[in-house]
Structure 1
Amino acid sequence: MTKITTAYEVAVRAEATLGEGPTWDPAAGRLLWLDILGSRLHTYDPATGRRTVRVTDQHVGAAKPRAGGGLVLNLRDGVGLLDADGGFRWLHHEPVPGRRANDAAVAPDGSLWAGTMRYDEAPGGGTLSRFTGDGTVEAVLDDVAVSNGTGWSPDGTLMYYIDSPTRRVDVFDRAPDGRVSGRRPLVEIEDGAGFPDGLTVDADGCVWVALWDGAAVRRYTPDGELDRVIALPTPRVTACAFGGTDLTDLYITTACVGLTAPHPVAGSLLVIPGAGKGMPQPPFKG
C-alpha cells in the first residue's frame, strides 16, 4: 500500500527562481543548494540556522564537495573548481551557445557525472558526461533533452538516471570500472503526475524522485514499485537529498519560475525530518 504524507517544514524561506541540487556537505555540517537561473550558491547549517549566498558568474547547475576541500561546480560553460579560499579555475571549459549546465552527481569512485541541456529544452541538445579529477572527460550520453537526477545503488552495481521529458527513471548496470550499460526503464511517470526531475537513493536502495509540476516527491522500491508519496503545496518540486548529521532528514528544493498563481513556499528549501535514511555521498576526487 502506498503511504501518502503531507507533513513538511520550511528550512529556508526563499523565492529561488529555479531552486535545485540539495547536497549534504558532511565536513562542513551544512546543506548546499542552488538557484540555477539566479546564479546563486546557497549554504544552510541546520544546527545554527546560518545561511550564506554566493553569486556565481554564470548559471550554475550543481555544486558538490571535493575531497581536498572546496567545491566542484557544474556551470554554464563547463566544470570548474572552487577552492576553500575562494579561488576558481576551470577543470573543463567548453561553452556551447544556447546550452547550460544542469544536475550532477558524484559516483562511488569519486568521478563527477554532469548533465547539460539547451535553454529551449530541444531534444538531443543535452549531454551526460563523466569527469575525473585530472580533467579527463568521457561522454556517456550525447542525445538527451533535460539531463537530471543521477544516483547509484548502495552496492554500486546500478546507476539511476532521468532525462525529464521521457517521464522515466532509467536504470543502468554499472561495471567495476565505473562504466554503465544496459539502459532500461525502472519507473514510468503517468500522464498528469508531472515530470521526474532530481533523485536520491536511500540506504535501502529505494529511489526518491522529485516531480516537476507534480507537487510531490515519490519513493520507489528497487523493483520500481511506488510505496510512498510526499505531497507538497507547490507544483515545481525539483530535487531531494538526505542531510543532517545522521542523514535522516530529506531536503527538497522547489522553483517559482513560470508559475502563474502564487504558492507560499515556491522557491523555498523544504525539509521532512526523519523521512528515511540516506547514504553518505562521496566527494569529488579533484
Structure 2
Amino acid sequence: MRDGADMNVRIACEVGAMLGEGPIWDGQRGCLWFVDIKGHALHRFEPLGALESFRAPEEPGWVLPMTDGALLVGAREGVHLFDGATFELLHPVEHEQPGNRLNDAAVHPDGSVWLGTMDNAEEAPTGAYYRLHGGDLEQLSPEPMVITNGPAFSPDGGTVYLVDTLERAILAAQVGPDGRPGEARVFARLPEGMGYPDGPVVDSEGTVWVGLFGGWGVGRFSPDGAWLGRIEFPVANVTKIAFGGPDLKTVYATTARKGLSDAELARQSGAGDLFMFEVEVAGQEQVHPRPSPPTP
C-alpha cells in the first residue's frame, strides 16, 4: 500500500482531544463515534463535518453502537448504557482494582463484547481482558498487562488480536467453538522507531491495522504477521482507526495531545484532531452487541 504522503491523510474535524480513542463507524446512523478519555467526552461526527459532544462519566475508553439506538460506553467504573441523555452503569468491572480503568473493546461476530482494562497510572501489570456475553462477565487470559489494547477479530471471527502496548507486542489466539480464546502467542512486534502499538483493527482481507502512539502513523501487518509498513501522519500520537462511509473505505483516525510538550504541540497543530484518508480494501461490517441484562 502507498504511504501516507500518497494517501491524502488530512484532518476530518478539529477536536483537540487530550486522548482521542475508540473510533467506530455507526452504519445504521451514518456517523462516527469516538471518545476523549482524558477530556471525559463522547463525540459523534457526521461526515459533512458536524461534531456533537456529550459529557461522559469519569474516563470513557470506548463506545459501541447498538441496534436500538443506544450505546454501550466503557468508562472507569464499568460498562454503561447511554440513551442519548443519561448514562446508566450496567456492569461494574474491577472494583477491586480502583487504579484501573476500561481502555478498549470490540464485538465478536457472536455478539459478545470483549474489553480490556489497564492501570491508569501506566505502571502496574493489573490490566486484563474480559468477555461480556449473555450478562456474564468472564476474565480471559493472557497474563495481566500494564496497558491492554484491542481486541480485534479476523473476518471469520476465528482469531482474536490482543495488544500488549508497553511490550510493543501484538498477540493472537484462536477463538474456540465455545467463544473463548485459546493460548495466546506473539503475532508480531513493532519495528524499532515505530512507537508503541495502540488500538488494533482488522480489515475485510485480514490485514491488521494498529495505531502507533509516538510512531507518527498507522502500522499494518499481514495475516501472517509480516510488517507491511506505515501510513504516515503529521502528528506523533495516532491511537486507533475505524473504517467508515457507505463502502467502509474511508478511514478515520483518532489522535492525542497527551504526553506532548508545548514545543511539540506547536509543531503538531493537528494533535488531538480526527484524521481521515481513503483506502482500496474495505473494513469489516460493524457487529452490534447483543443486549444483555445488567449485573445484579
Return the letter of the residue paired with 1:163.
Answer: D
Q: Distance in 1 between matches of 2:115 and 2:81?
A: 14
What SS does structure 1 have at the residue aligned with 2:166? helix
Post-superposition shift, 1:182? 2.6
For residue 270 of structure 1, the aligned residue among 270, 275, 280 is 275
Aligned partner of 2:108 in structure 1 is 107
For residues 128-179 of structure 1, the C-alpha deviation after alignment (integer angstroms, 9 at most, x for no partner) is 11112x4310001361210112111111111111020111111100112211
Aligned partner of 1:93 in structure 2 is 92
Q: Distance in 1 between matches of 2:34 and 2:12?
A: 12
For residues 207-258 of structure 1, the C-alpha deviation after alignment (integer angstroms, 9 at most, x for no partner) is 0111111011011110111224201111111111101111001111100012
Aligned partner of 1:258 in structure 2 is 259
1:250–1:275 contact (8 Å) kept in structure 2: no
Q: Distance in 2 between matches of 1:284 and 1:59?
A: 21
**Is 135-144 or 99-108 further displaced after alignment?**
135-144
Post-superposition shift, 1:185? 1.2
1:233 aligns with 2:234: yes
Aligned partner of 1:122 in structure 2 is 123
Aligned partner of 2:58 in structure 1 is 58
Return the letter of the residue paired with 1:165.
Answer: L
Aligned length: 282
Q: Distance in 1 between matches of 2:12 and 2:242?
A: 13
Q: How does 1:242-253 map to 2 (within 5 A)?
A: 242-253=243-254
Aligned partner of 2:212 in structure 1 is 211
What SS does structure 2 have at the residue aligned with 1:190? coil
TM-score, scaled relative to structure 1: 0.94
TM-score, scaled relative to structure 2: 0.91
Q: Distance in 1 between matches of 2:205 and 2:217?
A: 20
Return the letter of the residue paired with 1:285.
Answer: R
Aligned partner of 2:46 in structure 1 is 45
Post-superposition shift, 1:275? 5.1
Aligned partner of 2:289 in structure 1 is 284
Q: Distance in 1 between matches of 2:125 and 2:229?
A: 32
1:24 aligns with 2:25: yes
1:249–1:275 contact (8 Å) kept in structure 2: no
2:249–2:280 contact (8 Å) kept in structure 1: yes
Q: How does 1:70-81 map to 2 (within 5 A)?
A: 70-81=70-81
Post-superposition shift, 1:190? 2.6
Q: Distance in 1 between matches of 2:179 and 2:145?
A: 20
Q: Distance in 1 between matches of 2:193 and 2:12?
A: 28
For residues 91-139 of structure 1, the C-alpha deviation after alignment (integer angstroms, 9 at most, x for no partner) is 212433221111111111111111111111124211111112x431000
> Gapped runs of 5+ residues in structure 2?
292-296
Q: Which runs of 4+ in 1 moved over 6 A?
A: none
> Gapped runs of 5+ residues in structure 1?
none
